[in-house]
């Protein structure tokens, strides 16, 4: 193994922050006043506590096979950031379910079952490829959220803060799982297959949770809400449309997350959103 297993910029360093957030607006339609868009963002949060823990497990499993001090430090900082994300979103999810009457155990049960199945039936390296794919999805969504100021236009500023913070830290550690996978002999075919499967299952899970939330809110068959969601995701601002080229870039033979160096977005966030850090 080569000593330079980390391919992140040489001067790039990061660590976990431990901010606090006012989540009281979770009681209502905090995202643009739309039931669908609120449920869509909330559904993402529902996946994080279990998802972040599985990401930590898949990366740290290979820690003993890494000999690059820089990558070892990045693995440690990745683990700490993801652990904080997990706890913050668990707090978010518990409060949301309390305020709006959702059943957290019912929501998490299918994901728990699938993660357990993966652990029993999928090799550790392929589970790591799944983490690489999920990190790519979160990284490109994070880039879009931080780059374009229209994502949370008309939304509650306090709730937006937790998503922007999360997006910044996902940007900071976006290459860690990728570099570990390459370092332990992971193949481009494994990563490509993982992105296809991960993209499908994450959005399938989110849509299922959205439907459950809208049903609970009495708006499952509200066509205006579904139309609002379609417009937001595909037309204006068109989040999925905007990230599609970045999603495709993952299939390039020379792809690496830091080929797109967007650390300027981290600096902008640090000066604008949390001046105390």
Digitized pLDDT (tens) for each residue of the chain, 277 residues in all: 457 899 999 999 999 999 999 999 999 999 999 999 999 999 999 999 999 999 999 999 999 999 999 999 999 999 999 999 999 999 999 999 999 999 999 999 999 999 999 999 999 999 999 999 999 999 999 999 999 989 999 999 999 999 999 999 999 999 999 999 999 999 999 999 999 999 999 999 999 999 999 999 999 999 999 999 999 999 999 999 999 999 999 999 999 999 999 999 999 999 987 555 4
Per the structure, the count of domains in the chain is: 1
The answer as to whether 167 is a domain residue is yes
Long-range contact set of residues 192-198: C-beta below 8 Å, sequence gap at least 24? 192/250, 192/251, 193/129, 194/126, 194/129, 194/130, 194/132, 194/133, 195/133, 195/136, 195/137, 195/247, 195/250, 195/251, 197/130, 197/133, 198/130, 198/133, 198/134, 198/137
The answer as to whether 114 is a domain residue is no
Q: Give the number of residues written for the chain.
A: 277
Q: What is the pLDDT of residue 272?
A: 85
Helical ranges in 10-148 per DSSP H: 35-60, 69-100, 104-121, 124-147
The answer as to whether 126 is a domain residue is yes
Q: Are 117 and 129 in contact (CB under 8 A)?
A: no
The answer as to whether 13 is a domain residue is no
**CA dihedral sign, ordered 140, 143, 148, 149:** positive
The answer as to whether 6 is a domain residue is no
> How far is Cα 266 from Cα 263, in angstroms, rounded to an integer?
5
DSSP string, 221-269: T-HHHHHHHHIIIIISS-HHHHHHHHHHHTTSTT--GGGS--HHHHHHH
Q: What is the pLDDT of residue 274?
A: 55
Buried residues in 150-174 as b, exposed as e (16+ CB within 10 A): ebbeebbeebbbbbbbbbbbbbbbb
The answer as to whether 207 is a domain residue is yes
The answer as to whether 7 is a domain residue is no
Q: What is the pLDDT of residue 276?
A: 52
Q: What is the domain range of residue 124?
A: 29-109+120-272
The answer as to whether 250 is a domain residue is yes
Q: What is the pLDDT of residue 171?
A: 98
Cα 244 versus chain centre, distance: 16
């Amino acid at each position: 193994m080569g000593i330079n297993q980390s391919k992140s910029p040489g001067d790039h360093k990061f660590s976990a922050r431990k901010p606090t957030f006012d989540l009281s607006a979770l009681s209502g339609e905090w995202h643009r006043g739309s039931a669908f868009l609120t449920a869509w963002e909330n559904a993402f949060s529902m996946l994080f506590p279990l998802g972040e823990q599985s990401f930590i497990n898949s990366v740290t499993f290979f820690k003993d096979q890494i000999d690059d001090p820089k990558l070892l430090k990045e693995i440690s900082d990745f683990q700490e950031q993801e652990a904080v994300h997990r706890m913050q979103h668990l707090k978010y999810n518990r409060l949301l379910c309390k305020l709006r009457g959702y059943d957290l155990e019912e929501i998490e049960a299918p994901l728990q079952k699938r993660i357990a199945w993966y652990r029993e039936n999928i090799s550790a390296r392929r589970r790591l490829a799944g983490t690489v794919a999920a990190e790519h999805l979160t990284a490109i969504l994070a880039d879009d959220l931080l780059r374009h100021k229209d994502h949370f236009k008309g939304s509650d500023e306090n709730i937006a803060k937790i998503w922007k913070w999360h997006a910044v830290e996902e940007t900071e550690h976006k290459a860690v799982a990728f570099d570990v996978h390459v370092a332990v002999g992971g193949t481009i075919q494994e990563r490509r297959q993982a992105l296809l499967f991960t993209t499908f299952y994450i959005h399938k899970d989110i849509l299922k949770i959205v439907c459950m939330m809208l049903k609970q809110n009495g708006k499952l068959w509200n066509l205006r809400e579904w139309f609002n969601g379609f417009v937001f995701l595909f037309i204006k601002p068109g989040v999925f449309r905007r990230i599609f080229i970045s999603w495709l870039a993952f299939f390039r033979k020379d792809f690496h997350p830091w080929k797109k160096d967007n650390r300027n977005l981290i600096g902008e966030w640090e000066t604008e959103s949390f001046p105390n850090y």
